[in-house]
């Protein structure tokens, strides 16, 4: 199957200029991001879309770039939030916290907090404050954003105590004292470390459910969260332009959530078992994406291109590392790290040339790995990358300007 749209889907996109040639030919090629941007927004404009923009039922936004250029898209207001809320309300392990009216406390990048503050300031006809007050960090009646610093490793005690106080206030507003915690896995792990360091556990009420999204969650980080929280910890996979496509159950197994969508998996290189996600979606009525290359990569349970058997979303296609044995993904490196030691928290591979690499790493307890463990990991990463690898223990790896960690740095 080559993922060609059904007759029903073709009827729904017939008036969109970008698809006219494909409809005439009877074949839809893979839709790449540069093609979406070429001639934007005229290549998407229809009378219905123009009317939706005029009525405020559609808006222009930018995709959330991590280490790459952001893409302008058109979508309904709160498209991604509504996708999140619907999935939360239907998730077999945590739907009860939605229906019980739990507040959503979001601990993620400061860029997300700043976006909410800008939206709220615009509603008031004002400029956002440099450090937005609590009310300016409310996305809606249900969701509050907590983080005000780019690098969570640098949170100071007063910041952590302020966030914990805001969590307790949301907990106290609920009749059963429940709340839902939304996070980047890294940000929550940093909070756990700080709470432990300053003996603040009595001030940190346990959430009733946790969703981590926003970026790749390393195996060790997810395991660290599972050690510290008794509630279900759910992983979501999605994007600004598509909404959410997959969710994990409380045991970490991914399940498709493909309402008005379909997914193809294509090898990123001949013979590779790393697959590129090709998504067809009409969930966003203002910008249907047909055979769209999202830029995300996945591996499957059995190595076959079966989108119902995805075992791991293993990073971004643009961030694959070329090696003599084929491309290597963020998830592949993470597998080697977690297999060697559960103590590694943050790691970053620095490729200095075609023959050498360094693996910089931070542990949860800030102590270096035991020499024999470090030796095993150096050898394993060397075999994976086809480069002589040297480990370097650090107590801090700076986060990227996006508020997310880059797993790979290439100095050549």
Query: Is the peptide bond between 41 and the residue preceding it cis, with omega within 30 degrees of 0?
Result: yes
pLDDT at 75: 95
Query: What would the mean pLDDT of 4-21 be, rounded to a whole number?
Result: 96
pTM for the model stands at: 0.96
Q: Given a cut of 70, is residue 64 above it in pLDDT?
A: no
Sign of the CA dihedral running 8, 288, 82, 404: positive
Helix (H) or strand (E) holding 80: helix 79-90
Q: Which two tokens stand for residue 22?
A: 């494909």
Contact assessment for residue 342 and residue 220, using Cβ atoms and an 8 Å cutoff: yes
pLDDT at 408: 97
Query: What would the mean pLDDT of 172-182 be, rounded to a whole number?
Result: 98
Q: What is the pLDDT of residues 247-297, one digit of tens each?
A: 999 999 999 999 999 999 999 999 999 999 999 999 999 999 999 999 999
Q: What is the pLDDT of residues 364-411, one digit of tens each?
A: 999 999 999 999 999 999 999 999 999 999 999 999 999 999 999 987
* Helix, strand or coil, per DSSP, at residue 215: coil
Distances (CA, A) of 157 to 165, 198, 280, 394: 12, 8, 46, 22
Q: Given a cut of 50, is residue 10 above it in pLDDT?
A: yes
**Calpha distance 335→330 (Å, rounded):** 9
Sign of the CA dihedral running 398, 401, 405, 411: negative
Q: Name the band, by pLDDT with cuts 50, 70 and 90, for residue 68.
A: very low
Q: Name the band, by pLDDT with cuts 50, 70 and 90, for residue 1.
A: very low
**Calpha distance 314→303 (Å, rounded):** 13
pLDDT at 69: 58
Q: Given a cut of 50, is residue 25 above it in pLDDT?
A: yes
Listed residue (44, 110, 51, 46) closest to 72, CA to CA: 44
Query: What would the mean pLDDT of 311-329 be, rounded to a whole number?
Result: 96
Q: Which two tokens stand for residue 249?
A: 């159950």
Contact assessment for residue 235 and residue 213, using Cβ atoms and an 8 Å cutoff: yes
pLDDT at 327: 98
**Calpha distance 176→100 (Å, rounded):** 9
Q: Name the band, by pLDDT with cuts 50, 70 and 90, for residue 70.
A: confident
Backbone angles phi, psi at 315, to 5 degrees: 125, -165
Least confident of 1-10, 160-169, 280-289, 313-322: 1-10
Q: Crossing angle, helix 219-228 and helix 185-197, to 10 degrees?
A: 50
Listed residue (293, 273, 291) closest to 282, CA to CA: 291
| CB burial string 45-83: b at 16+ within 10 A, e below | beeebeebbeeeebeebebbebeeeebebbbbeebbeeb
Contact assessment for residue 186 and residue 213, using Cβ atoms and an 8 Å cutoff: no
Q: What is the pLDDT of residues 128-148, one digit of tens each?
A: 898 999 999 999 999 999 999
Find how far residue 8's CA is from the centre of its chain.
31
What mean pLDDT is reported for the chain?
95
Contact assessment for residue 264 and residue 298, using Cβ atoms and an 8 Å cutoff: no
Sign of the CA dihedral running 9, 10, 15, 16: positive
């Amino acid at each position: 199957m080559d993922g060609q749209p059904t007759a029903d889907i073709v009827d729904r996109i017939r008036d969109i200029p970008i698809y006219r040639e494909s409809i005439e030919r009877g074949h839809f090629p893979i839709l790449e991001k540069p093609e979406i941007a070429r001639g934007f927004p005229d290549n998407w404009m229809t009378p219905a879309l123009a009317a939706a923009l005029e009525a405020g039922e559609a808006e222009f936004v930018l995709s959330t770039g991590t280490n790459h250029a952001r893409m302008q898209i058109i979508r309904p207001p709160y498209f991604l939030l509504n996708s999140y809320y619907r999935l939360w309300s239907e998730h077999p392990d945590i739907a009860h916290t939605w229906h019980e009216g739990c507040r959503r406390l979001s601990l993620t990048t400061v860029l997300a907090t700043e976006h909410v503050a800008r939206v709220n300031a615009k509603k008031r006809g004002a400029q956002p404050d440099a450090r937005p007050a609590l009310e300016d960090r409310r996305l809606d009646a249900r969701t509050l954003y907590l983080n005000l610093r780019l690098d969570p490793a640098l949170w100071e005690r007063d910041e952590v105590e302020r966030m914990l106080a805001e969590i307790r206030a949301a907990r106290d507003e609920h009749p059963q004292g429940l709340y839902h915690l939304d996070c980047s896995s890294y940000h929550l792990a940093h909070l756990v470390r700080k709470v432990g360091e300053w003996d603040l556990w009595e001030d940190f009420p346990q959430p009733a459910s946790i969703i981590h999204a926003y970026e790749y969650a390393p195996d060790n980080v997810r395991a660290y969260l599972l050690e510290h929280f008794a509630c279900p910890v759910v992983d979501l996979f999605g994007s600004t332009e598509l909404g959410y496509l997959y969710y994990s159950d409380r045991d970490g197994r991914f399940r498709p959530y493909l309402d008005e969508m379909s997914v193809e998996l294509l090898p990123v290189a001949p013979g590779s078992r790393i697959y590129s996600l090709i998504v067809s979606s009409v969930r966003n009525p203002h910008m249907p994406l047909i055979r769209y290359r999202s830029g995300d990569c996945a591996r499957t349970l059995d190595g076959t291109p079966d989108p119902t058997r995805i075992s791991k979303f293993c990073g971004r296609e643009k961030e694959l590392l070329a090696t003599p044995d084929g491309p290597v993904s963020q998830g592949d490196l993470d597998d080697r790290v977690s297999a060697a030691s559960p103590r590694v928290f943050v790691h970053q591979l620095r490729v200095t040339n075609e023959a050498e690499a360094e693996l910089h790493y931070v542990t949860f307890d800030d102590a270096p790995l035991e020499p024999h463990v470090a030796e095993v990991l150096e050898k394993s990463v060397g075999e994976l990358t086809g480069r002589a690898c040297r480990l370097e223990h650090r107590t801090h790896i700076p986060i990227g300007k996006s508020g997310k960690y880059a797993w790979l740095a290439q100095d050549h």
